[in-house]
Structure 1
């Protein structure tokens, strides 16, 4: 289950408007668990491990490991920060931060090769409790609750390097 397009194929995909093309190589994962792969490759800030269980009893087919993201979006109220390699590269104020996130997401057009897991990276993170203020007009007028931790309302990482553990075939993609 590898996908390694030639230079000509990459140029053709770019001409079609794709600016993200997953490059994949399958290797044996017989001696690793998703957690051991995470600890070896991604145990750093702005990384993650997604496991799935179906019906509370059966493991899902894929586990997703996101290596440390270089670009991170943070939303505090209506203020948006974009950091790359921990350097502030963009700040803006948005009346509707959710619309801004949707617009940011539109910067990426991802090619999806057949036979591959559907997740190749992208925006990964959370939308916190206070995000409801962007959706429900009645709540937008009331002051936000105090946040002594300074936690962002929204935190999204641009996940560009991903390891997919195929729990069925014991392969790492």
Structure 2
């Protein structure tokens, strides 16, 4: 074999490899992979990251952390639909969610007993009960909104990152927050 034949053979092999690589890239970009992740909270520090899709996720790595805790990692070779990966945060399990600071209530203090239940005074009128009920309802709404805000802020304290590979080898990532 002379040099021209060797160069020709190398060129043909390179062309075939380039065509195979192009075909592989097309195959990968058209791959259908239905992997969805849902987080279920079992306790303050135990979370189940569940594959709620219809396809299998391979080489799954789940990493969870909070502002006061180092990332905790769990790995699984294969996560089928409806199965899960457990991730445990020991500090959060022991101490619970971090406290949330909310501004103080700016509503008037309301007595627990309505004016009609108190001994009569010169200023007692039936309208006082209506005003008392109105102020009481405003106070209850404000207290409920504070509770909702605390729960809302605590529900985003845990960050979770899931990395997995599809059947054809495409790596995917999903980041979520939970409480």
TM-score (normalised: structure 2):
0.23
Is the helix fraction higher in 1 or 2? 2
Asked which structure has the greater RCO (Cα within 8 Å, sep 6+), the reply is 1
- TM-score, normalised to structure 1, is 0.24
